[in-house]
Amino acid sequence: MEKITIQGRKLIMLFQEYKLKNTNLRNRVVMAPMTRNQSPGGVPTDDVISYYSRRAKAEVGMIITEGIEVSHKASSAYPNVPRLDSDDAQEGWKKVVAGIKSHDGAVIAQLWHCGGFRKLGMQPNPDVPGHTASGLVKPGKKVAHEMTLEDIKETIDAYASDAKICEQLGFDGVEIHGAHGYLIDNFLWEGTNIRQDLYGGSIDKRSQFVSDIIKAVRDNVSDKFIVGLRFSQWKQHDFEAKLATTPEHLKKILLPPVEAGLDYLHSSMRRFWESEFTDSEENLAYWTKKISNIPTIGVGSVGLDSDFIDMTAPATPTSIDKAIEDISNQKYDMIAVGRALLSDHEWVLKMKEGRLEDVIPYTKDALMNLY
């Protein structure tokens, strides 16, 4: 530990043990969920198993898997994304979990419904269109199927069923993907949810869908099983969009799902070092923690000198002083690392030892290849 010179005590706090519900993490560094498109037929391959195991061995505290498509007819929008709805897929995930656990890692399965990003002709179920709250994928653009109450019930049931499968496979918990313009975020955003029923209109009604999902998941798993939610202000197709323009507005959005039974929140930012609201220097993760009073993960280009507008663009390793300060000052509890862990699976070890100069820079090759 002699090489640790950046606020010595504070850096140690980032890398010391942390307890999330009943799960002990060896440090507060989380591997962010990143789509890899390397699971043909929805089945994780041996390369996928090794990919996760390699990072657990290199002391990532908690791994959140790439998005796993929820077992619903309209959840898919991208090729070779893993699923849970076959024996082969479940066996693949069982091996992923075993590989991570063999290195004393913790692992959360991210459950993902792509919503309006799905188009007719996509596999599986090519006759099924994308599903959204009001048929909109962006304000004024109605190109998807407006979900009926029966569609909503089927989707909620799918999340609950898949969460139970994840617990049976040995995962420590699930994370509900509610960010980036996908289905749940589509319900949360007033720009795309113009329903006039239980699931739309006011802020609290726009939160009803995700709250019902969390309640159903919580009721279908054990008390020790972790249930988290990832959310964002920005969307894949609108980086400037916001769910909330003030902390008070954010509180109205977040408290219903928190009260439904969440164990943590995962605040997705493009640049974690930027402030979120006018008249405050604090980021979204800070406000999430302050409002919810539950464990919070911050993420957004950690350890790199540029954000991910272009995922193929190279990025240089950079200091994590800001993350160190925020964690040490208890502004939030954990920090998630994405692209930096794609390019260098030993990122945690190198940063822990103060070897920034040894970290492998991020390039397009890290995105295209699974290692």
* Residues with catalytic function: 182
- Residue entry with tokens 């219903």: 256
Tokens of 335: 């920090």
- Alpha-carbon span 6 to 335, nearest angstrom: 17
- Alpha-carbon span 315 to 319, nearest angstrom: 13
- Residue entry with tokens 């390397």: 38
Burial 278-306 (b: 16+ CB within 10 A, else e): eeeebbbbbbbbebbebbbbbbbbbbbee
The H-or-E segment that residue 268 falls in is strand 264-268
Which residues does 148 contact at the CB level (< 8 Å), separation at least 6?
Answer: none
Which residues does 78 contact at the CB level (< 8 Å), separation at least 6?
Answer: 35, 37, 114, 117
Tokens of 153: 């019930």
The H-or-E segment that residue 240 falls in is none
- Alpha-carbon span 12 to 29, nearest angstrom: 12
**Phi, psi (degrees; rounded to nearest 5) at 129:** -80, 175
The H-or-E segment that residue 210 falls in is helix 208-220
Number of Cβ within 10 Å of residue 140's Cβ equals 8
Per DSSP, the three-state class of 226 is: strand
